[in-house]
Amino acid sequence: MHERTVELKASQLTVVLVAGLDLIGGILTNATNAAKRWYHRRAPGARRARLFFVAAHLLHLAVLGTVVLEGDLAWTLGNAGLLLAGAAAVEFTPVQVARPVAVGVWTAVVLVNLFWLTVPLALVWFAPLFHLKLLVCHLVPETPLRGARD
């Protein structure tokens, strides 16, 4: 499974740290109701903007795959394909089932990364958090809360 070891150089460690901070901040930010209201507002081009935001993150995969994983094309292209297919599945599904579709796609992505797209053990966290940020936190619209809490 994830037996590949890696000794990170300063440039590689910098990429991992920046990516980790971006993912943590992005997960927390994109999961807020305010972010969901903004990204899922009724405006011309809102869907295009959401998909562009996701597509722009292909750069993250390219940098991590090139710099940290030293050109691992299988991992980079595999995760790029999973991201784009997952984003299309979530974005074009009816809003009533967007959340379970997103979580289902995310689960499939995690399993593919655990069993087929190997990375060093120290980096197994990256793909699950990366796809969580984009597929579950960013692309799933806010659902209004109804009724009083118990």
Please tell me the predicted confidence (pLDDT) of residue 31.
95
Please tell me the predicted confidence (pLDDT) of residue 9.
87
Rounded average pLDDT per 10-residue block, the chain, 150 residues:
65 93 97 94 94 97 94 96 98 95 98 94 94 97 66
Please tell me the predicted confidence (pLDDT) of residue 68.
94
| C-beta atoms surrounding 105 within 10 Å | 23
Please tell me the predicted confidence (pLDDT) of residue 104.
98
Task: Determine what percent of the chain falls in helix, strand and coil, rounding each to the nearest 5.
Answer: 70, 0, 30
In angstroms, the CA 86 to CA 128 distance is: 13
In angstroms, the CA 81 to CA 18 distance is: 23
| C-beta atoms surrounding 71 within 10 Å | 9
Please tell me the predicted confidence (pLDDT) of residue 122.
85
Contact 22, 60 (CB under 8 A): yes
Tokens describing residue 113 = 């990364």
Please tell me the predicted confidence (pLDDT) of residue 76.
97
Compute the Cα dihedral for 33, 47, 73, 8 and give only its sign: negative
**C-alpha to C-alpha distances, 96 to 10, 93, 108, nearest whole angstrom:** 46, 8, 20
Please tell me the predicted confidence (pLDDT) of residue 85.
98
Helix (DSSP H) and strand (DSSP E) numbers for the chain: 7, 0
Please tell me the predicted confidence (pLDDT) of residue 56.
97
